[in-house]
Amino acid sequence: MNPIIKSILAPKFIFATLRVMTPILYPAIGVAVSALAGSVNIALEGIMLVSAFTGVIISAYTGSLWFALIAGVLAGVGMGAVLGYFHLNLKADIIIAAIALNMFASGITIFLLYILTHDKGTSSSIKSLVFPSYQIPLLKDIPVLGPMLSGHNILTYLLFVAIIAFYYIIYKTPLGLRIRAVGQNPEAAASVGIDVKKIRMYSLLLSGFFGSFGGLYLSMGYVSWFSRDMTAGRGFIAIAAASLGGNLPLGTFLGAALFGLVNAFSNFIAPLKIPSEFMQSIPYLTTVIVLAIYSINKSNKEKAALKEGAK
Q: How far is the CB of 232 from another protein (least distance, A)?
A: 10
Q: Which is nearer to another protein, 2 or 307 (CB)?
A: 307
Q: Which is nearer to another protein, 6 or 172 (CB)?
A: 172
Q: How far is the CB of 131 from another protein (least distance, A)?
A: 27
> CA 107 to CA 121: how far, in whole Å?
12
Q: How far is the CB of 183 from another protein (least distance, A)?
A: 8
Sign of the four-CA dihedral 113, 118, 122, 128: negative
HSE (CB half, 13 Å, CA atoms) of 35?
22
Q: How far is the CB of 19 from another protein (least distance, A)?
A: 20
Q: Which is nearer to another protein, 1 or 192 (CB)?
A: 192
Q: How far is the CB of 69 from another protein (least distance, A)?
A: 22
Nearest to 33 by CA among 159, 143, 175: 175
Q: Which is nearer to another protein, 144 or 285 (CB)?
A: 285
Residue 298 CB burial class (10 angstroms; 0-12, 13-18, ≥19): exposed
**What is the SS3 assignment for 161-173?**
HHHHHHHHHHHHC
Q: Which is nearer to another protein, 135 or 184 (CB)?
A: 184
Q: If DSSP codes are grouped into helix, strand and coil, which group holds residue 133? A: strand
Q: Which is nearer to another protein, 113 or 129 (CB)?
A: 113
Question: Alpha helices of 118-153 — where are they, by DSSP H?
Answer: 145-149
Residue 153 pairs in a beta bridge with 133
- Rule CB under 8 A: which residues touch another protein? 42, 86, 89-93, 95-97, 99-101, 103-104, 106-108, 110-111, 114-115, 120, 168, 172-175, 177-178, 180-181, 184-185, 187-189, 191-194, 233, 236-237, 239-240, 243, 275, 277-278, 280-281, 284-285, 287-288, 291-292, 294-296, 298-299, 302, 305-306, 308-310
Q: How far is the CB of 11 from another protein (least distance, A)?
A: 28
Q: Which is nearer to another protein, 1 or 310 (CB)?
A: 310
> CA 146 to CA 143: how far, in whole Å?
6
> CA 128 to CA 113: how far, in whole Å?
13
8-state DSSP, 141: G
Q: How far is the CB of 280 from another protein (least distance, A)?
A: 5
Helix pair angle (196-217, 174-184), 10° resolution = 110
> CA 209 to CA 194: how far, in whole Å?
23
